[in-house]
Amino acid sequence: MRVLVTGGLGFIGSNFIRHALAAKSSWSVVNVDKRTYAGNPANVADLPRSRHRWIKADICDAKAVERAMRGCELVVHFAAETHVDRSILDASAFLKTNVIGTQVLLDAALRLKVRRFLHVSTDEVYGSVAKGYSKEGDLLEPNSPYAASKAASDLLVRSYFVTHRAPVITTRASNNYGPYQYPEKALPLMITNFMEDKPFPMYGDGRQVRDWLHAVDHARAILTVLDRGELGEVYNIGGSFTCENRELIARVLRLMGKPASLVKRVEDRKGHDRRYALDCGKLKRLGFKHAYDFERGLRETVDWYRANERWWRPLKVEGGYKSYYCAQYRRR
């Protein structure tokens, strides 16, 4: 079976392709990725060419998308601008890729009559949840330009199901972690900064609550939804561990044997959500169970960055971070 994966050079997309090819012996993957700053061919360099082909293309390019999708039965759509800090500085790329790009893919999927189209989204579309857990039918209340662009794409996907009966499913996942994550995101930035004995900027009081999902468990959950999920539905994919950001930092410090003096408190991010929490009952009813507990996953993630300095160090040296995170620290 031929499967189109968008954004497969990125962190979550490449982990999905790697896991899916191991789990599905009949699959071959067409990987459409524009190769933006966060897309790295090294993430998939060891995959067999007989089963994986990368096509450098923009998902907003309708002709390129249709050429790549032709002959594919399934589409798994990861491609997106995802870094909240960047969206605060400039939202334009987020609207183009996350909304227009999704529309282009949906139109191609309709024309080519793909069997299933899975749209990968985020828990951030629900906004901050003071108590309880977000369910799939809850009101969407995004609080960052990134989250707003993803909420818009979620609604677009829904509209194609209602209007065109497109064979779509949406998943909304919590914070992912694991190997191959671009080192501007919080956890790999933390790990690599601590490896270099450099400070890590903690936003505000560090009491923001996040739910942590290993990228391989995310891939496993997506396969479960593709196999057993109902068309037109949304499925939350939560992690196996929830904690405040300051607790996460303390865990990484202990694991790496680093002093608390490396943590530098900075002004909180604009529109920073206080807490995310997902109700994953629908996913569990499909039979999904996590394979990674957080302690094991975090330890293996730290070990991966320690063993793969040649992968992440050039990315940090290249810089180009338009990160609000880093800009805040530089102001101190």
| pTM recorded for the entire structure | 0.94
Side-chain-side CA neighbours of residue 289 (13 Å): 2
User: Which one-letter amino acid corresponds to residue 293?
Assistant: D
**pLDDT on residue 319:** 54
Helices (H), the chain: 11-23, 62-69, 84-89, 92-95, 101-112, 145-164, 186-195, 215-228, 245-256, 281-285, 294-307, 309-318, 324-331
> Helix or strand or coil: residue 173?
strand
Domain locations along the chain: 2-176+214-237, 178-210+240-275+292-327
| Catalytic (active-site) positions | 123-124, 146
Burial of 23 (0-12, 13-18, 19+ CB in 10 A): exposed
**pLDDT on residue 316:** 87
Strand pairing category for 234-237 and 168-173: parallel
pLDDT in tens, the chain (332 residues): 999 999 999 999 999 999 999 999 999 999 999 999 889 999 999 999 999 999 999 999 999 999 999 999 999 999 999 888 899 999 999 999 999 999 999 999 999 999 999 999 999 999 999 999 999 999 999 999 999 999 999 999 999 999 999 999 999 999 999 999 999 899 999 999 999 999 999 999 999 999 999 999 999 999 999 999 999 999 999 998 999 999 999 999 999 999 999 999 999 988 898 999 999 999 999 999 999 999 999 999 999 999 999 999 999 876 544 444 444 444 43
> What would the CATH number be for the domain defined by 2-176+214-237?
3.40.50.720
> Helix or strand or coil: residue 213?
strand
Q: Please tell me what DSSP assigns to residue 41.
A: G
Inter-axis angle of helices 186-195 and 245-256, to 10 degrees?
A: 30
**pLDDT on residue 329:** 40
**pLDDT on residue 318:** 61
CATH architecture of the domain with residue range 178-210+240-275+292-327: Alpha-Beta Complex (3.90)
What CA–CA distances, in Å, run from 251 to 138, 277, 305?
A: 32, 20, 16
Instruction: Tell me the two tokens of residue 152.
Output: 């818009």
> Helix or strand or coil: residue 209?
strand
Instruction: Tell me the two tokens of residue 285.
Output: 């009813």
What CA–CA distances, in Å, run from 61 to 71, 160, 234, 247?
A: 18, 19, 27, 43
